[in-house]
Structure 1
């Protein structure tokens, strides 16, 4: 008998495309409504539709699902693509707060959820382009 925990990818373990879609929708719902996310919400366009679609395609591929991002966008180059906005600890933490809540609501497999969050936290930390002082913009705008 196959152990359900032995599925090949995180994408499969969390529930595939429906789970990614729900995760991203809940993430942006939190970004729209949480006081802690007001700053990062202001960095985004009023219409989150295109951004939602891009994140869904990216996360599908990043978790081992269908390659929906790179055929259209090429290599993610996430840090480079976000360099126009100042991302410090506060922005990283707000993003992760929204994502943690969305993951908790979407992914019932605790091990998969924690592993995915841990990888997202590393990625979010790597995305920072500001020094520890949130008012220091030397590393930001290029």
Structure 2
């Protein structure tokens, strides 16, 4: 039996703290429900089915926050800016993306601190994807 020595702190990853895979899949599914009906964002997804995009984002976020490394094992380094370069991501797209992501985050049962941690990252990520003026 492997016991943790007395006095040792075993830290959880953010992924584990918020509920693991189930939480990130709920987040991403709710986000893509918003994207599906968004006239600005939906055209950025050339696939008829948003399922593959949903899977990629879920795997990326799970890995980023300390979960399984499935994203990198399947797709290599995330290279987010490069992967988004073909799409015109302006301020309006940024704002629409954050609107749907905010609704998705609000549907999770996160603590105030967890919400703030996740939201800080998401707003940073959205800003870093902007590649066009406007």
For the residues of structure 1 that align with 2:16 and 2:105, how far apart are their CA atoms? 15
Q: How far off is 1:57 after superposition?
A: 0.7
Which one is further off, 10-19 or 102-111? 102-111
The equivalent of 2:74 in structure 1 is 72
The equivalent of 1:14 in structure 2 is 18
Q: Is 1:41 the equivalent of 2:42? A: yes
Question: After superposition, what is the alpha-carbon deviation per residue over 1:66-123, rounded to whole angstroms, capped at 9, x for unaligned?
Answer: 1110111111001101111100111011111111110110132221111111111111
Number of aligned residue pairs: 124
Q: 1:32 to 1:7 in 2, by over 3 A?
A: farther
Normalised by the length of structure 1, the TM-score is 0.82
SS of structure 2 residue aligned to 1:113? helix
Q: Which has the larger radius of gyration?
A: 2
Q: 1:125 to 1:67 in 2, by over 3 A?
A: same
Normalised by the length of structure 2, the TM-score is 0.86
Q: Structure 1: which 5+ runs fail to align?
A: 1-5, 134-142
The equivalent of 2:31 in structure 1 is 27
For the residues of structure 2 that align with 1:85 and 1:111, how far apart are their CA atoms? 33
C-alpha RMSD over aligned residues: 1.4
Q: How far off is 1:14 after superposition?
A: 1.3
For the residues of structure 2 that align with 1:125 and 1:22, how far apart are their CA atoms? 23
Segments of 4+ moved more than 4 angstroms? none
Q: How far off is 1:7 after superposition?
A: 5.0
